[in-house]
Amino acid sequence: MEVKWNIQQSNQNLVKELTEELGVNKIVAHLLVLRGVSSFDEAKKFFRPQISDLHDPFLLKGMDKAVERIELALKRGEKILVYGDYDVDGTTSVAMMYSYLNRFTDKIGYYIPDRYGEGYGVSFKGIDYAQMEEYTLIIALDCGIRAVKQVEYASNKDIDFIICDHHTPGVNTPRAVSVLNPKQKDCNYPYKELSGCGVGFKLIQAISEKRNIDFNEIGEYLDLLAVSIGADIVEMTGENRVLAFYGMRVINQSPRMGLKALIEKSGKSGELSISDVVFGIAPRINAAGRIEHGKRAVEILIEKDSEKAKELAEGIETHNKERKDLDQSITKEALQMIDENKKSTVVYSSDWHKGVVGIVASRLIEKYYKPTIVLSEKDGELTGSARSVKGFDLYEALLKCEHLLEKFGGHKYAAGLTVKKQNLKSFILEFEKVVSETITKEQLVAEIEVDLEIDIDEVTPKLYRIIKQFAPFGPKNRTPNFVSRNVTDTGKGKRVGEDKSHLRLVLNTSKNPITSIGFRMGEEFEKTNGDKEFDICYSVDENYWNGTTSLQLRLKGIK
- Cα distance between residue 53 and residue 34, in whole Å: 21
User: Residue 143 in contact with residue 120, Cβ under 8 Å?
Assistant: yes
Give every strand in the sheet of 494-496, ordered side by side.
452-453, 482-487, 534-545, 548-558, 514-518, 502-507, 494-496
Tell me whether residue 63 is in a domain.
yes
- Measured in degrees and rounded to the nearest 5, phi and psi for residue 180 equal -100, 110
- Measured in degrees and rounded to the nearest 5, phi and psi for residue 182 equal -65, -15
pLDDT of res. 269: 81
Read out DSSP for 311-348? HHHHHHHHHHHHHHHHHHHHHHHHHHH--TTSSSEEEE
- The CATH number covering residue 173 comes to 3.90.1640.30
User: Residue 195 in contact with residue 232, Cβ under 8 Å?
Assistant: yes
User: Residue 265 in contact with residue 281, Cβ under 8 Å?
Assistant: no
Tell me whether residue 544 is in a domain.
yes
Within this chain, do residues 408 and 454 fall inside the same structural domain, yes or no? no
- Give the global pTM: 0.89
Tell me whether residue 119 is in a domain.
yes
Number of domains the chain is built from: 3
Within this chain, do residues 311 and 388 fall inside the same structural domain, yes or no? no
Tell me whether residue 512 is in a domain.
yes
* DSSP percent split of the chain into helix, strand, coil, nearest 5: 45, 20, 35
- The CATH number covering residue 548 comes to 2.40.50.460
Domain boundary among 403, 418, 444: 444
Tell me whether residue 402 is in a domain.
yes
Within this chain, do residues 213 and 360 fall inside the same structural domain, yes or no? no
Domain boundary among 282, 300, 315: 315
Q: Is 152 left (phi over 0), alpha (psi -120 to 50) or beta?
A: alpha
Radius of gyration of the chain (CA): 24
pLDDT of res. 380: 80
Residues 212-218: contacts with CB within 8 Å, 24+ apart?
Answer: 215/51, 218/100
Within this chain, do residues 291 and 366 fall inside the same structural domain, yes or no? no
Angle at 3 between CA 409 and CA 538, to 5 degrees: 100
Which residue segment(s) compose the domain that 205 sits in? 57-315
Q: CA distances (Å), 69 to each of 64, 129, 299, 305, in order?
A: 9, 21, 26, 32
Q: CA distances (Å), 430 to each of 288, 408, 426, 433, in order?
A: 34, 15, 6, 5
User: Residue 46 in contact with residue 38, Cβ under 8 Å?
Assistant: no
Closest CA to 87 of 472, 416, 419, 397: 416
**Contacts with 509 (C-beta within 8 Å, 6 or more apart), sequence order:** 456, 457, 459
Pairing of strands 372-378, 381-387: antiparallel
Within this chain, do residues 253 and 366 fall inside the same structural domain, yes or no? no
3-state SS class at 88: helix
pLDDT of res. 120: 79
Within this chain, do residues 90 and 186 fall inside the same structural domain, yes or no? yes
Within this chain, do residues 366 and 509 fall inside the same structural domain, yes or no? no
HEC assignment per residue over 387-409: ECCCCCCHHHHHHCCHHHCCEEE
pLDDT of res. 429: 97
- Cα distance between residue 110 and residue 81, in whole Å: 5
**Contacts with 537 (C-beta within 8 Å, 6 or more apart), sequence order:** 5, 448, 450, 481, 482, 483, 555, 556, 557, 558, 559
The neighbour count for residue 22, using CB atoms within 10 Å, is: 17
Residue type, 488: T
pLDDT of res. 412: 85
Q: CA distances (Å), 75 to each of 105, 139, 210, 410, 456, in order?
A: 10, 17, 14, 36, 64
Within this chain, do residues 434 and 508 fall inside the same structural domain, yes or no? no
3-state SS class at 523: helix
Within this chain, do residues 437 and 500 fall inside the same structural domain, yes or no? no
Tell me whether residue 320 is in a domain.
no
- The CATH number covering residue 358 comes to 3.10.310.30
Tell me whether residue 325 is in a domain.
no
Tell me whether residue 133 is in a domain.
yes
Based on DSSP, count helices (H) and strands (E) in the chain, helices before strands.
Answer: 20, 19
Residue 14 burial by CB count (10 A; 0-12/13-18/19+): exposed, middle or buried? middle
Within this chain, do residues 357 and 218 fall inside the same structural domain, yes or no? no
Within this chain, do residues 279 and 425 fall inside the same structural domain, yes or no? no
User: Residue 473 in contact with residue 236, Cβ under 8 Å?
Assistant: yes
559 residues of the chain, pLDDT tens digit each:
789 999 999 999 999 999 999 999 999 999 999 999 999 999 999 999 999 999 999 999 999 999 999 999 999 999 999 999 999 999 999 999 999 999 999 999 999 998 878 877 899 999 999 999 999 999 999 999 999 999 999 999 999 999 999 998 989 999 999 999 999 999 999 999 999 999 999 999 999 999 999 999 999 999 999 999 999 889 999 999 999 999 999 999 999 999 999 999 999 888 999 999 999 999 999 888 777 788 999 999 999 999 999 999 999 999 889 988 998 999 999 999 999 999 999 999 988 988 889 889 999 999 999 999 999 987 788 999 999 999 999 999 999 999 999 988 877 888 889 999 999 999 999 999 999 999 999 999 999 999 999 999 999 999 999 999 999 999 999 999 999 999 999 999 999 998 999 999 999 999 899 999 999 899 999 999 888 999 999 999 988 777 788 899 999 999 9
Domain boundary among 249, 282, 315: 315
Within this chain, do residues 277 and 372 fall inside the same structural domain, yes or no? no
- Measured in degrees and rounded to the nearest 5, phi and psi for residue 147 equal -85, 55
